[in-house]
Amino acid sequence: MIKCCAFPFPFLSFLTADALKCNTCSVGLFGYCFFGSTATCSSNQTSCYTSNAAFTGVSGFSGFATQGCYSGSSPGCNSSYTGTILSATYVVTTTCCSTDNCNPITNGAPGVKVSLTVATSAALLASVWIKLMY
C-alpha cells in the first residue's frame, strides 16, 4: 500500500498561499447586517469589498450594504456612481481592501424605525442594485 504524501519539494512550499478571508454581508439595511459571516475567497478574488447605497435626499437613512470577496465585476473597487430611480437620486460607493477580514461588518441599532416610503424605496433600489451586481 502506498501512502501519500508529503510535499515532494519542500523548498517550493512558499508557493502555496492561504486564501484571502473576507467578511460577508448579503443583506445590510439601516446599518444592520443580516446574515453576516466570513468567507474564504477563491484564487481569482484578491480583494474584499464593501458596497453601500443610499438615497441622497433622505436624511437619517443609512441605506443598505453588501460585503464579500471581490471578483472584478461592476461597480468596481474604490468607486462611486450615482443613479436615479422613481425621481430619487441614490449613490453607490464601493471600497476594497486586500488583507484578511479588512472589511469589518458594522452593525447599527436594529430597531431603527423608517417610513413606509423609505422602506419601499430601499427595497426597489435593492432589487435594481442586485441586478447590476450580478
Burial class (CB in 10 A: 0-12, 13-18, 19+), 46: middle
pLDDT of residue 49: 93
Long-range contacts of 14-17 (CB under 8 A, 24+ apart): none
Cell of 78: 474604490
Cell of 132: 447590476
Q: pLDDT per residue over 31-85, tens digit each?
A: 778 878 999 999 999 999 999 888 887 776 668 889 999 987 666 888 998 998 8
The whole model's pTM is what? 0.64
Nearest to 98 by CA among 49, 43, 33: 49
Q: pLDDT per residue over 88-129, tens digit each?
A: 888 999 999 999 999 988 664 444 444 445 556 666 666 665
pLDDT of residue 11: 47
Cell of 93: 460607493
Element (H, E) at 25: strand 21-29
